[in-house]
Structure 1
Amino acid sequence: MLQVRLLGCFALEQSQRDQSAVLGRNGRRLAAYLFAYPNRSHRRDKLIDLFWTESAPDQGRTAFSTALWKIKRTIGASGRQMALHAVGQNVVLEIAKPAIVDAHRFASDIEVALSASCADSIRPAIELYSGAFLEEFDGDWVLEERERLEVLYVRALTLMMRQAANQSRYEDALCCARRILATDPMRESAQRATMLLYTLNGQRGQAIRQFERCRATLREECGVDPMPETRSLDLMIRSGAVFERIPTLLNETFGTGG
């Protein structure tokens, strides 16, 4: 069965081998777009303008037709699970089960688990997130979808982090916090959560170093200092006053009274 990878680097995997290399650079981008937005009609002229912007009109149309032929041939071995149709000015990639595309399965599973606020259901879905959406491509449509999926990923990790913290599983909560920061190091709420979790886990030195990393990152990337809440937490950790406010800080950070 053909498996489509949109998370991380684009791949069309058949028998554990990537079949997408034969499509060429723009052909791979076109295929990725069609798999990102399946079961809907796309105008030929729009697709040509999107992926063959620098080509002359005749060259663009020829390259587009060749790319469509290569995509159709590549997915042909998938049987009835998908089919590429080009009729008149419209192109449609039909997929019987969108779950064969990792990004669609990830989004669907995460949204179901989030609606139920069930961290246990989220865990297997999170493991599908093998990297940012089409990390080797750019373009407005890529960035928009990448951001949407990253938001779901961070929301899911945040739910898991909060549940673990509420159950005093601080190492598990720290694992989630680190993954959030690996995706979005500017998220100061996650920086503060990480500092507090290190403190609760008996690693006050690590908590202080986390603040230093946070401050360095913000200064380097944005030219600003951490927010007052972050600086205040750092001072409490350094002075030891944090231990007098643990219930309040737990409630503010993880939604628990401790």
Structure 2
Amino acid sequence: MTKVLKMSLLGPLQLTLDDEPLHNLVSAKGQALLCYLAVNGRSHSRQAIAGLLWGDLPEADARRNLRGVLMKLRQVVAPYLEITHQAIAFNDQSPHWLDVQAFSQQVAAANMESWQTAIELYRGDFLEDFHLRDALDFTAWVQQQQMRLRQQAITTFDKLIDLHIENKTYEKGVQLSQRLLALDNVREISHQYAMRLFALQGERGRALEQYVLCMRLLQEELGVEVSTETAVLADTIRSGKLHLERLHEPQVLVPPKPTFSRELSKKETAVSPQFIAGPPISQPAHFFGRETILKRLFNLLRTRPLQNAAIIGPRRSGKTSLLHYLKNISTASPAKLRPNQRRDWLIQPQQYHWVFVDFQDPRLGSCSGLLRYILTQLNFPVPDVCDIDQFMDVMVDHLYQPSIILFDEIGVALERYPELDDAFWESMRSLATNQVDGNLGFVLTSHAQPYELAQHSGLGSPFFNIFGYTAVLGPFTDAEARSLIATSPTPIPEQDIAWMIAESGNWPLLLQILCRERTLSLEEGETGDQWRADALMQLQPFIKLKDAT
């Protein structure tokens, strides 16, 4: 009689066969493969699985590693796998239990008992603290599942708390509200639930303490004030005039909005800010993909001498967003990041200084203006007369910690700003390579190789030959694209996901636009495919990106 394979993936991974742990019998890559097949529920080619788990290796090496893992898995869980020479799948007819499957079934049921079961199954984030080295596509898939399942759990908690408020079982509601806050302590609607429940069971003091805690956390972690809705709720509790009513749907927490000359319509304001199409992405939590490039870039900057890199890609390919991510990710608060989003790229990130130079800002087009700006950003003294000689003296005297200057769109500087001539760039090269003990590095972005731009502009400075690594930005992988799409607050159907990937060519900007449009249509309750026609119209100004693939 076949034993029962029990797989608990919500929270720390637990694999048992008739209640006997499997962790010591199956390698980490074997565990990852078993989890992926069970959750995904379909057959995959050996080539696809090898790329998923050993994406950094040549295909022959990856497939050899896969054969070794499959051989060991067969020894332990053979009845639960369907393995051929071409493909691998999980045998869903075998006796097994998967908490992710059970959780989703309970969430989908429309009754309180099922929802309570669902939140008991949710022990924590999907595959919490489970990490694989050199498996970027697998990591992206895990993050996609984490966001999807966490949102389902939060929504289920909300429904249960609303029912406890309606049923006047306030103590149980309080307990759930504290568990909900443990999932995300800066989610404002969760604090509102706790405030309301404390007040409804006669604990006005604890309700107002919760409000103070909410204010402090939002300010410390996000740098924003509480919403008007939360402030009004606190005033209502102080006055003792709280009424029994269901909380509104949670609002997305954003900094205070500017005043508009007219009131925006629901359709104009409904789109979730997860999808940013137009301005560069400056918040690390909204940045996706580029893991291989990030790994290479940070490796260049981990030790002295700092090395220099160029990021090349067509316009609108995400170059500026990548610079912001380099600058911000290592010191970002975990509360502002996605679950398990990596931030340990540098050993001592607090020692690093970053200067972002936007050459589309004409104020940085003069030699003196640019040099003053760099010194100011580094908190170094700025001489009254700030020419290149004075600048280099200050840098030599004060630059003792690793510092990276991010030159965004250097092509603009070469084409528009004659003061930034050969002598300027030669001085920059000399400063970085010979005078500050390897503490200065440059990362630039451009739509073409920097030496090509320099030749085109009539410049011959050796500065443009010190960039030993060039990262070329292309489309996302499918896994990266799906990881972005999964952040939609309203789940997007699989057939729409496949269409979006095909139409965008996996270019990040085009994906952002399609995600925005599909999320809007789902939030508005629209049916049919009209949203696709609208989305394609929105893509038109940027459709040439696909020609760069």
* Superposition TM-score tier, normalisation by shorter sequence: 0.7 to 0.9
Q: Which amino acid aligns with 1:64?
A: L
> Would you say the 8 A contact 1:110–1:152 is kept in 2?
yes
- 1:11 counterpart = 2:14: yes
- 1:184 counterpart = 2:190: no
- 1:28 counterpart = 2:22: no
Q: Which amino acid aligns with 1:253?
A: L
Residue 52 of structure 2 corresponds to 50
Between the aligned partners of 1:15 and 1:96, the Cα distance in structure 2 is 17
Q: Which amino acid aligns with 2:129?
A: E
Between the aligned partners of 1:103 and 1:123, the Cα distance in structure 2 is 15
Q: Deviations over 1:19-48 (max 9, x none)?
A: 13332222222222112112x111222211
SS at match of 1:224: coil
Q: Which amino acid aligns with 1:119?
A: M
Larger Rg: 2
Shift of 1:111: 0.7
Residue 43 of structure 2 corresponds to 41
SS at match of 1:91: strand
| Structure 1 stretch displaced more, 193-202 or 123-132 | 123-132
Residue 135 of structure 1 corresponds to 128
Segments of 4+ moved more than 4 angstroms: none
Shift of 1:234: 2.2
Between the aligned partners of 2:154 and 2:195, the Cα distance in structure 1 is 18
How many residues in Structure 1 have an aligned counterpart in Structure 2? 239
Shift of 1:98: 8.3
Between the aligned partners of 1:236 and 1:99, the Cα distance in structure 2 is 51
Q: Which amino acid aligns with 2:46?
A: R
Question: Counterparts in 2 of 1:190-229, with a 5 A limit?
Answer: 190-229=190-229
Which stretches in structure 2 are left out of the alignment for 5+ residues? Answer: 132-138, 250-549
Between the aligned partners of 1:161 and 1:106, the Cα distance in structure 2 is 18
Residue 230 of structure 1 corresponds to 230
SS at match of 2:129: coil
Q: TM-score, normalised by structure 1?
A: 0.84
Q: Deviations over 1:71-91 (max 9, x none)?
A: 222213xxxxx5312223321
Residue 251 of structure 1 corresponds to 245
Between the aligned partners of 1:214 and 1:98, the Cα distance in structure 2 is 46
Residue 98 of structure 2 corresponds to 101
Alignment equivalent of 1:88, drawn from 78, 85, 90: 85
Q: Which amino acid aligns with 2:67?
A: S
- 1:110 counterpart = 2:107: yes
> Would you say the 8 A contact 1:218–1:224 is kept in 2?
yes
Between the aligned partners of 1:154 and 1:99, the Cα distance in structure 2 is 27
Shift of 1:185: 2.1
Shift of 1:254: 7.2
Between the aligned partners of 1:204 and 1:220, the Cα distance in structure 2 is 24
Between the aligned partners of 2:248 and 2:49, the Cα distance in structure 1 is 45
Q: Which amino acid aligns with 2:123?
A: S
> Would you say the 8 A contact 1:83–1:95 is kept in 2?
yes
Shift of 1:97: 6.2
- 1:150 counterpart = 2:147: no
Q: Which amino acid aligns with 2:65?
A: A
SS at match of 2:65: helix
Alignment equivalent of 2:72, drawn from 70, 73, 78: 70
Residue 79 of structure 1 corresponds to none
> Would you say the 8 A contact 2:5–2:96 is kept in 1?
no
Between the aligned partners of 2:96 and 2:108, the Cα distance in structure 1 is 14
SS at match of 1:137: coil
